[in-house]
Amino acid sequence: MSKVIQDIHTAFEHLENGMTVLAGGFGLCGIPEHAIEAIRTKGTKGLTVVSNNCGVDDFGLGRLLEKKQIDKMVSSYVGENKTFEQQLINGELDVTLTPQGTLAEKLRAGGAGIPAFYTKTGVGTLIAEGKESREFDGETYIMERAITGDFGIVKAQKADTFGNLVFEKTARNFNPLCAMAAKTTVVEVEEIVELGEIDPDDVHLSGVYVDYIYLGKHFEKRIEKRTVKEVQHG
């Protein structure tokens, strides 16, 4: 059966309330815009979403926060998102803030079938509270559990029909990890080519991790925050 789909909504037929979604992207870079909109349209609620951040108020995962479809966020930072901040303050959103590198490793471990690992990150801080610790070579490490999910939603620049993926620069952050750690992975791309047209050395992620491929159109690719400085002439 072909992995290429014409309607992205079909990929989420089995997405149910209370499931865990792993969302790729780095800030607003390389986020799965079409998949997020499909989940918003479906109206699935009680979701746990694992992502680097939660977009902005009216774009990215912020679109799911608007409809209160997310019950829990596991992320590295709040970002430029007032809705995220307000729902957190109001107790409407359960948030687990996780150091960026640790979040990446938790996803990598999940994809590799490793249940847990030890790291020095967070030792002596609130992050370490309630976590098992051990000493190795005289240094203290805390144990972090791996992360897996029911669905992974990712964005790539190119895919072949088997699902071998090529990512564009910073979009390579978190997207491959979310794909590997999910039971079902939905990828949206800007270009689809035939199997064999991507040089094996150029493949960033094997198609064995991909279940659905959608050729997206009109990617907005919004910038999270632009800082400018007026230049004085003369």
| CATH number of the domain within which 198 lies | 3.40.1080.10
Percentage of residues of the chain with pLDDT beyond 70: 97
Mean pLDDT taken over the chain? 93
What is the rounded distance in angstroms from the CA atom of residue 150 to the CA atom of residue 139? 35
Would you say the C-alpha torsion 160, 192, 110, 117 has a positive or negative sign? positive
Whether 210 is in a domain gets the answer yes
Which positions ≥6 away from 10 have C-beta within 8 Å?
A: 212
- CA nearest to 23, candidates 40, 6, 5, 43: 40
The H-or-E segment that residue 74 falls in is strand 70-75
The pLDDT tens digits of the residues spanning 51-71 come to: 998 888 888 899 999 999 999
Residue 205 domain boundaries: 4-10+17-113+147-215
Whether 142 is in a domain gets the answer no
Give the pLDDT of residue 51. Answer: 95
Whether 132 is in a domain gets the answer no
Give the pLDDT of residue 222. Answer: 64
Whether 153 is in a domain gets the answer yes
Q: What is the pTM of this model?
A: 0.92
Whether 155 is in a domain gets the answer yes
Whether 91 is in a domain gets the answer yes
Give the pLDDT of residue 18. Answer: 98
Whether 172 is in a domain gets the answer yes
Domain count within the chain: 1
Whether 133 is in a domain gets the answer no
End-to-end CA separation in angstroms for the chain:
66
